[in-house]
Amino acid sequence: MKRERGSTIERVLDILDTVAASTKPLSATEINGVLNLPKATAHRLCAELESRGYLLKRINGKSYVPGNRLHDIAVGVLANERFSAARHAILTALSERVGETCNIAYPDGLYMAYSDRVETKAPLRLQFSIGMRVPLYCTASGKLYLSTLQKGRRKSIVGKLDLIQRAKNTITDPDRLLKELETIAEHQVSIDNQELYDDVIAIAVPIKDRQGRFYSSLAIQAPATRVSIEEQENYLPLLREAAHDLAILTED
């Protein structure tokens, strides 16, 4: 069916495009400033999209960010067969070059969920299933995601987390965690040094979209008895190269 210019569906799609592309939350008035819609129409459509879960209103009650249903659509697109084979090939190549388990994870509420994973061929390996969720605060991928948030939102989320001791090096002090997140944000690399499980270490880098925004993490995991943190850091060039290759898959 041909879409009429200025139709409701066109306006809805334009609103979703505008919010998804923005680097900051937008109010209905700001959205209207970009799209030049009738004021009442902009507010009505934003409210409807919020009620259906496509937009999420921030705590201030004025501005919108992408909602869970929009997030689910994005994850579905990335999981689509069009991308999965090429993505898995890149992940497999990285795993074979470093000799360790590699995975891709995306934010899922207060957790990170694995969307793809390639296990090492070494006898001692880590068994994590696709779709498994792990906490934000004690994983390389989770801390990486937290570091990409604006400082105010980052502090708010950390304040809501139950920082329980999961392994010998789990960070349970909010101030110490926030300080580490600043370092991660600066260097664009995150390390889990036996923070989720004893004898498990990981290093992660971001996978970004064409606008430079984080949407997934790419990580190497290994037993600490086989690989040191320093040895994992030697893999950073390979990790960043693979993250770049994964990012350009969605630009075609």
Annotate 24-62 with three-state secondary structure. Answer: CCEEHHHHHHHHCCCHHHHHHHHHHHHHCCCEEECCCCC
pLDDT at 109 over 70: yes
pLDDT digits (tens, 9 = 90+) for 51-102: 988 888 876 677 888 887 777 776 666 555 556 788 889 999 999 999 999 9
Contact 36, 22 (CB under 8 A): no
Question: Rounded mean pLDDT of 163-176?
Answer: 97
Contact 199, 88 (CB under 8 A): no
Question: Rounded mean pLDDT of 212-231?
Answer: 90
The Cα 172–Cα 36 span in angstroms is 47
pLDDT at 241 over 80: yes
Give the per-residue pLDDT at 17: 85
pLDDT category, 137, cuts 50, 70, 90? very high
Across 29-38, 44-53, 66-75, 176-185, least confident range: 66-75
Smallest CA-to-CA distance from 237 within 100, 97, 113, 119 is with 97
The verdict on pTM exceeding 0.85 is no
Give the per-residue pLDDT at 224: 92
Share of the chain above pLDDT 90, in %: 47
**CA separation, residue 119 to residues 74, 125, 218 (Å):** 25, 7, 14
- HSE (CB half, 13 Å, CA atoms) of 108? 16
Give the per-residue pLDDT at 75: 64
Give the per-residue pLDDT at 130: 73
Mean pLDDT value across the chain: 86
pLDDT category, 39, cuts 50, 70, 90? confident
Contact 218, 179 (CB under 8 A): no
pLDDT digits (tens, 9 = 90+) for 180-189: 999 999 999 9
Give the per-residue pLDDT at 3: 38
Domains of the chain with CATH codes: 8-66 (1.10.10.10), 72-249 (3.30.450.40)
Give the per-residue pLDDT at 133: 87
Token pair for residue 39?
A: 């004021």
Give the per-residue pLDDT at 1: 36
pLDDT at 22 over 90: no
Give the per-residue pLDDT at 76: 63
Question: Rounded mean pLDDT of 19-31?
Answer: 84
